[in-house]
Structure 1
Amino acid sequence: MGDLPAAGRGRLRGRVAPDAPRPHRAVLRTNAMRAVPGAYGQIGARLVERGYAAIPIIPGTKRPGVPRADGAWTGLDDWQARFRHRLPVEVEVERWSESGAGVGIALGPPSGGTVSADIDTDDAAIRAVLLTILPDTTVGKAGRKGETLFYRASPTFPSRAFDLPGPDGRPMRVLDLLGPGKQTVLPPTLHPETGEPYRWTRLEALDGVAPGDLPWIGDDVGERIAAALVPFGYRPEPPRPPRREAPAGEETPHRRVNDLAMADLGAWVPELGLPKLRRRGGGYVAVPVWRPSHTGRPLEKRSPNLKIHPDGIRDFHDGNRAYTPLDLVMAARGYALDEAFDWLAGRVGYGEGLTIDLQPRRVEMHAGVTVDAETGEVLEAPPAPVDSRDFPDADLRVPGLVGEIADWIMASSPKPIRLFATAAALVTVGTLIGRRVYCGTPRSGAHLYVMTIAGTGAGKERPQEAVRQILDAATGGQRLHTAAASSAASLALRLAERPVQVQVVDEVDKILRRVGHRNANAQEAEMLQDYCTLWGRGMGTFIPNSTTTRGDILIQRPCLSLYGATTFTSFYEQMRSKMVSNGFLNRFLVLPRFERVKVQARVAPEEEVPDAIVAAARRLFEFQDAPPPGVDPRRHLGATATLLDPARPPPLVVVEMTAGAQAIYAACRERDETMLARADHDPLYEAWSRAAELTKRVALIVACGRYAKAGLAGVQVEEGDMAWAQRLVDWSFSLFVTGLRENMAENEHQAGLKAVLGFIRQAGRPVNRSEVYRRVDGRMDARQLDNVMKYLVTSGQVEEMLEKTKGRPRTMYQVAIS
């Protein structure tokens, strides 16, 4: 690949006076292209696919860094700015996977809100206190001592360190809460002190768990830990020196970075690693370790004579020597001026981590991505194309409570997807009126089966949690939400306790895998039949097929909704023709999101549901509870009192459709009949058999949301409600049938063929075998993949070609051009 001049892109080069000793920066050299992959090569790609910002770690250290072509390593000091709004791109993952890099993750929003609690003590009493406050989690890792636990938190989760007095009176670190802007090293990276790999300590490894599945930890956990550690001698440190406004104006880059650094000492001074650093008088004091003691004292006995304050930085035992922030970084970290500038600029927000380009650098193009030829740094990632298959966001704005809930979910989501926010709002409102409100003839309830599909780490988790939050806030904690049932008996017992409920299921493909497998047991087969029955039994009596310990269970007017989430790969892996023919899948409103969304910079608090939404949702939930005129409220039993009684449902309310809405619904039913006629020749058209019924249910929910604040007084399903529902459902079923046609398989061999062919087609460019293997990792081994690739090439579906490289030619694959 030839060199390309990159005008205006380079590194800021500083000069050191000829008579001054040049600061030395150690460069670690290692065999970057080793035969056995390093820790990043083992799990880095899987972490990125899960939604974690996996970054490379220099071997033998805990420091992020990238390999150079000559085998040396360069510190990745701008990793915070680089991965603030994105995951590593494919060319980065591939380069780092081929090196001996360790692996870590950037915590906070880049990794789906992942944070950690680093317990740095083996003291049993202290650990016991900490573990009573920290939530339970299934993911943990350990190095030399202690244990690091993983959680999910808000973007404002505060990092905090906790020291206790040690046996010699010196501070002893017992816990670090690590949040946004921090990173942590993961197994199987080798620990720099022991030379042994970090290890997973709990049930699951992080690369096997999506960020949204980690347990939640609140922003207040630090205060509760501080209170619990007081009996052990904990004393909180003085608050961080406040940030003051730095003067603006016409300045050089160096002057501007120095001014910003003096205005926000807390953003960079603690990361210098200065001995005996502590806060004092609105700033910091520390030992200037780069110069020897004038009295010959060892380090542990030296006084903190370096004073770092917004008014200036001085070393009082070195002739009252003054430092600028850049001077201090150069002295403390052994950097040259350009290295110190890059390091400090990335921490104080100058240029948002961008480098200033005064010298051209050598760049190359890889798959449309501009990279530094020496370090592999991504300079220009191609903009994500707008996927025309997505439902337009502008058309997802609906009036009333459904729209208000969707707006709040969008505002409180790090990765907002309006399609999923609207789906969550529909299921929430439908559950609030479930078992009581029906529409038209034949009667249609307000329960829905919804499946959201997107890539790993794309933003599926927040809408799920919002459904739970709103239902709890509006119903007084009646918990109208549950998780997925594990058997037909479990499903029956749950419905007997809560005849109206929504099951919020992350990774819904696990249900599909159980009930759709050819070796499914009797309980799993019965559960599939019960789910199908419950979808259409809103007006009748549900009698479970399964025998339970409670005798016969009869549930009048059950109202079960499902809100599931999965990935494209996991969903289509489970597709078999019997899942369509038995009517299970065509009961779902399948909502895929193809284009990834960016992390939004400003996220609203998610822990509290807005009062206006709670009030409207509660008014909707209690719309039948007001006593009739002349009845003593103290003697009146509201309709919600019998909502959870399986044999005694509340009074039924029928919402009528206007003539315009009725006409659209009739056209939908006629369309369904046409599709069923086509199913005689193409069975996939059977998926349309319940589209009209779904359209009416969605329209009913939207209409009730518009009349929520009025307690449903005067509610009707209007033409606009039905037209909007028709467009959403038609779009969903059209894409669903197309996806089935391209991905549905009858056996594992067919599934592997379609998965590999789909990935090569989606890439839109030649791909190598390693890329394909990483994508299908866990679904087939190397031999199975080789057989699949051989079949695709032999059958003419895929073309094989050789790409010239500096070494051996590389085999590439692309979809055959017909």
Structure 2
Amino acid sequence: MATAPTPAPENFMARFGARLVDNGYPVIPIWPGTKKPGRYLCNAWADYPCWTRHCDRPTTVIEAETWASWPEAAIGLACGGLVGIDIDVLDSDIAHQLERLARDMLGDTPLLRIGRAPKRLLVYRAEVPFSGPKRAPLEILAQGRQFVAFAVHPDTGRPYDWPEDSPLTVAFEDLPVVTEDSARAWLDAAIALLPPALRPATLVSQPAATPATSPQRGTLAAVRSALAHLPNADLDYDSWVRVGMAVKGAVGEDGASLFSAWSGLSAKDVPATTAKAWTSFRPTIIGAGTLYHLALERGWQPDPTMVLDGTVPQDAVHPAAGLLAKLEAAPADPVPPVQPFDLDIPDGVLGDMVGYMLATARRPQPELSLGASLCAIGALMGRKYRTESNLRSNLYIIALADSGSGKNHSREIINELFFEAGLAQYLGGNKIASGAGLLTALHRQPAMLLQIDEFGMFLEGIADRRRSPRHLTEILDNMTELFTSAGGVFLGAEYANRDGKNERRDINQPCLCVYGTTAPTRFWNALQSANVVDGSLARFIVLATSNEYPDENDGTGIRTAPAALLERLKLIAQGGGHAPAGNLAGLTADPTTAVDPMVVPMDAQAKAAFRDLSVHITERLREARGTAFTPILARIGENAAKVALIRAVSIDPVAPVIRGDDADWAIRFVGTCADRTMGEIDRHVADNDIERSHKRLLEIVRSAGPTGISKSDLIRRSQFLDRRQRDEVIAVLVEGGMIEPVMKATATKPAMRFRSIGREAW
């Protein structure tokens, strides 16, 4: 007897995605067999780190069409405007009772989803997006959350069920509206209906405000006594953190052993995790008052003779002397250090290209792959897209990594992709022989990507105006001018032209993208202060790898470019299909040839983000007046807008819109790179011995970290200076606000330390 063939796994996205988008729902792809968002890269499913972007905007048709091609793609709905009331209860009677309560208090929604019965989820529409609380087994899925809508449930092996209506038949705008207050009111009422065994283990249902009369600082004896009345058998994480914060706010580091012992009462305690959490606690408005309040609620009756207030001295010794000494020794308003930029790879063509580079690299380098992909897509977009302020996609990016770290791989992938997609005309040569040669190449192909290896060596030749020949220094001059001419006409040089063979060559809307790789030391040594001041460096985004030598990828070998990626690169090169009129329109550099790029609008959130950036940059420019950093600061907004433009087009080449998350990501990316560039200039770039001495001593202080360095250690590490020189350099650095002296308490007498003053974080 023949066996019936196994049915092919269903692609829910291909079947339902377009209809859900038409009904106004924020659709996201779900990794098959799971409940989490995913994306399909390089023939495999992977996490989708930026899926929350869909909480704030409608899903586009092109996104749904792309996801529909992913095998077995399931469907989730992103919450924000959408709200899910998740009843994670396996008791059928209680689940039905909680559902009825939701319908009575929030409205009779037509959308009920069943995954693993009797658990259920009801769907509503938010009046205004809000953050939803979770009090297991109940949760309000709101801003930044998602739920699975159409998929095979990983536990039951059956599709999720919509027993009444479904999002396929009910439009988003027809759902009942809920507010944050009404949703929280339902949650409070629902928790009260749960039997005690199902209620969440927590010390407080709502954060209890510390009474105004309660002191933040306590005494060790009182804190120890209060902790003895707080249960910790199976406490939830939030309450555990709250107690730890309160203990630290009450007695500072002296409470570490108390919190560790109290945490150890739970079977869930992991000592290493407890110690790490304690180190991370930074209490500001929580302390003894909160701890005492929680203990009093549970029957604590402190001894009348016990001192509770840690600000009251007793026996001539202050009960919180250790904490107060640290507070007094610390500066009142420390300058925050530059925070690392958490590199999250965007989706769209940009993310697909980066993902392909990483999957095929022997040593994957995310930062370098991102920089190369931005320049590559920027070149394809050249003369086809622009912002509302007429900015274009021309970028100059320098990627820094040591030899042997995998710098070449991104360039190889771009070359292969462009050749396979029939876009090789966008690739410039690997070397530039002269300024005239650069202009000749751009006149032939006005949108071009130059990929230059050993950019530090190249920079040495084009940046040294005292020793390099004119035809080399003209390269940097032309690159500087081309950067600002992308939205207009670049006017070529005038020559004697006696024989009529050397006419001026003008280029209409040139788009030159440059991606250079080099070793960090070679690059900074090649740079001179003049390049910082004249603005030539400011046009570059300098991007350094976070891991010089990542683990090798053993799975690399013969590679085949994804067909979908090639097609989307072609679509971008075609301007999303919006071809201008005329056979040669946009194809030549002649100023008389029509070039009419698509205008990519910004939504309100993106405009607000760039307005805030403008205010921020203006403040920093005023602070940096007279320094070499003003050109770099002044270019942050322009480069961020270009990066946001590329990110938006890579997501939707046909109808791109620069949205708020595009702007936020680009601003953080470019701003962090700019801050790091200025930091490296501080450390390395010097044109004379005096300046070099200042930078060497400053680097010694910086390398000591936030605790600083003692004066005796500083003397030992700066033997390249005599006493007079050292004192003069220290005085200059202090007066310039680059380092500061800090008095630190010791067992004998206060000692002076020096520490650097960091830059403002983005």
When normalised by structure 1's length, the TM-score is 0.42
When normalised by structure 2's length, the TM-score is 0.45
The structure whose residues are more often helix, as a share, is 2
